[in-house]
């Protein structure tokens, strides 16, 4: 399937919102102890040859780089997520950002597999972040995918190769995985 990724405009908004409703139960996600309204974030839309929105990636830029706040595909396994992540990485590199990063929950084994296969590295675990997120969004389940208790959030990153950093290598390779019992990065829910 031919997929074009472009900045989401007003024409794509209804379809993007429908994907967020299906995936997250509405436009709000909790990430690193912060509630985000996906409707207010810059969004990349994946559009098929017929003009239908088949995926969306909402992001934000901060001092740490380009954070992927949400990525959803209408159907998994069709290359939509890969195209969106590649476009986000290109967007970050074009803006001179050295890092694309995101968080996911400890139960999301599919996402962990997906992101690592695309060169992202595990860099941190925020213990209890989902438990804290549940205070802001009580509908987050206690037990997640595959019957795994849902408590923690995992941070992954991919370096863009800008400003002298080789792409895909950690700026601090000695930080392979640490835990943080305090406020930090969390997984969108």
User: What's the domain range around 93?
Assistant: 3-180
- Is 118 inside any structural domain? yes
User: What percentage of the chain carries pLDDT values higher than 90?
Assistant: 73
**Higher pLDDT residue, 11 or 189?**
11
- Is 20 inside any structural domain? yes
Whether the full predicted model's pTM is greater than 0.85, yes or no, is no
- Is 188 inside any structural domain? no
- Is 185 inside any structural domain? no
Q: What is the CATH number of the domain that holds 162?
A: 3.40.630.30
Rounded CA separation 188/59 (Å): 12
Count of the separate structural domains present in the chain: 1
Please name the residues in contact with 85: beta carbons below 8 A apart, sequence gap of 6 or more.
57, 68, 71, 100, 115, 118
Rounded CA separation 159/179 (Å): 21
Output the pLDDT for position 178.
Answer: 35
- Is 166 inside any structural domain? yes
- Is 186 inside any structural domain? no
- Is 187 inside any structural domain? no
**DSSP bridge partners of 2:** none
- Is 189 inside any structural domain? no
- If we measure between CA atoms, which residue out of 188, 136, 5, 189 comes closest to residue 83? 5
| Integer CA distances (angstroms), 155 to 46, 88, 109, 116, in order | 24, 17, 13, 11
Please name the residues in contact with 187: beta carbons below 8 A apart, sequence gap of 6 or more.
31, 103, 104, 105, 106, 108, 129, 130, 133, 153, 154
* Token reading at 135: 């205070």
DSSP 143: B
Tens digits of residue pLDDT in 16-58:
999 999 999 999 999 899 999 999 999 999 999 999 999 999 9
Lowest mean pLDDT among 24-38, 39-53, 111-125, 154-168: 154-168
């Amino acid at each position: 399937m031919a997929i074009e990724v472009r900045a989401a405009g007003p024409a794509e908004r209804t379809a993007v919102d429908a994907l967020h409703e299906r995936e997250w139960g509405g436009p709000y996600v909790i990430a690193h102890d912060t509630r985000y309204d996906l409707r207010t974030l810059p969004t990349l839309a994946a559009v098929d040859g017929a003009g239908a929105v088949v995926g969306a990636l909402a992001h934000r830029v901060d001092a740490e780089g380009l954070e992927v706040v949400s990525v959803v595909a209408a159907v998994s396994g069709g290359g939509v997520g890969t195209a969106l992540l590649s476009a986000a990485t290109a967007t970050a590199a074009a803006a001179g950002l050295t890092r694309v990063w995101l968080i996911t929950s400890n139960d999301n084994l599919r996402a962990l597999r997906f992101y690592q296969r695309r060169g992202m590295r595990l860099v941190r675990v925020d213990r209890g972040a989902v438990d804290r997120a549940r205070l802001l969004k009580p509908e987050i389940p206690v037990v997640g995918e595959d019957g795994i208790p849902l408590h923690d959030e995992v941070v992954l990153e991919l370096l863009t190769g800008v400003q002298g950093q080789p792409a895909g290598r950690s700026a601090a390779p000695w930080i392979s995985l640490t835990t943080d019992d305090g406020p930090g990065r969390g997984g969108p829910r």
